[in-house]
């Protein structure tokens, strides 16, 4: 990105996306909101990207809102207008990762507070350093999570635990974050672990991976009948497609598959 709030490097089907405001622990100011949304828009139109890794430069993943920036004039945010489908502009910086067609792996370290935790929660998989400090922090400022957090945590974090954390704004570490459901696992080097996972995903049939993400999203918001029909529809599109045939041939011939995007 030109303003360097977010950087993108794409290699072998994996987009390495980094929040890049390390002097402010990647805190969210208006320019950061703009850069994240622009990044999501760009990735949505990149057919060669099969997986995304989302991380933060410097000492933290994201410290949440830059309160100084908001207090000095950045707080005039329109929360009513749905600017991005079902989401408003504030929600899009987190919800947008959920709606990308390819899987997103978030690698978090240092701090993931408030809006930072909600952004990470937009990823399909979160890998955290064990010592990462996390918090549903909004209650500290007398507000509630409003960056798609409740929609993203549904099915991921148990209801009573989420209520406790939201009402109290208490901090917890990466290891507890795994137990609570905010992260899938911990790693001493979350970014390296996330890149390994993304490369593994990128080696699979990209059409099947995207279909699997659509089904996973559908499963969170639909009844069993709708999910069953969705499974059948997705499978019908995949069976006997060139990439599906290539997956079978590569397995039989014990070689790496050569998939088309």
pLDDT, one tens digit per residue, over 198-225 is 999 999 999 999 999 999 999 999 999 9
Least-confidence region, from 10-14, 57-61, 79-83, 144-148:
79-83
- What residue spans define the domains of the chain? 6-202, 206-252
Residue 1: pLDDT band with limits 50, 70, 90: very low
Residue 70: pLDDT band with limits 50, 70, 90: low
The reply to whether the predicted model has a pTM over 0.85 is yes
CATH assignment, 6-202: 3.90.226.10
Asked if residue 108 lies in contact with residue 190, where contact means CB atoms within 8 angstroms, the answer is: yes
Residue 87: pLDDT band with limits 50, 70, 90: very high
Nearby residues of 89 by Cβ (< 8 Å), 6 or more positions away: 33, 37, 77, 78, 81, 83
Question: Can you say whether the dihedral through the CA atoms of 165, 170, 176, 178 is positive or negative?
Answer: positive
Q: What is the pLDDT of residue 79?
A: 82
Nearby residues of 166 by Cβ (< 8 Å), 6 or more positions away: 136, 138, 139, 144, 145
The candidate with the shortest Cα–Cα distance to 130, out of 176, 72, 195, is: 176
C-alpha 120 chain-centroid distance: 5
In this predicted structure, the answer to whether residue 186 has a pLDDT above a threshold of 60 is yes
Fold of 206-252: Lyase 2-enoyl-coa Hydratase; Chain  A, domain 2 (1.10.12)
């Amino acid at each position: 990105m030109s303003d360097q709030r977010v950087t993108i490097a794409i290699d072998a089907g994996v987009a390495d996306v980094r929040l890049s405001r390390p002097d402010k622990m990647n805190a969210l100011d208006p320019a950061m909101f703009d850069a994240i949304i622009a990044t999501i828009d760009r990735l949505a139109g990149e057919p060669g990207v099969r997986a995304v890794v989302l991380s933060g430069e410097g000492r933290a993943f994201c410290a949440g809102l830059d309160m100084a920036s908001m207090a000095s004039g950045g707080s005039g945010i329109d929360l009513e207008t749905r600017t991005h489908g079902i989401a408003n502009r504030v929600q899009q910086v987190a919800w947008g990762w959920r709606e990308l067609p390819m899987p997103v792996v978030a690698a978090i370290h240092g701090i993931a507070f408030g809006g930072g935790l909600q952004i990470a929660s937009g990823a399909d998989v979160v890998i955290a350093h064990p010592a990462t400090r996390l918090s549903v922090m909004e209650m500290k400022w007398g507000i509630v999570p409003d960056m798609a957090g409740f929609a993203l945590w549904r099915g991921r974090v148990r209801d009573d635990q989420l209520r406790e954390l939201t009402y109290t704004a208490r901090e917890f570490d990466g290891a507890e974050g795994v137990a609570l459901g905010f992260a899938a696992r911990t790693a001493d080097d979350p970014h390296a672990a996330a890149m390994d996972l993304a490369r593994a995903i990128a080696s699979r049939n990209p059409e099947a991976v995207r279909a699997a993400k659509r089904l996973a999203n559908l499963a969170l918001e639909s009844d069993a009948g709708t999910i069953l029909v969705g499974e059948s529809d997705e499978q019908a599109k995949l069976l006997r497609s060139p990439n599906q045939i290539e997956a079978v041939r590569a397995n039989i011939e014990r070689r790496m598959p050569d998939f088309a995007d």
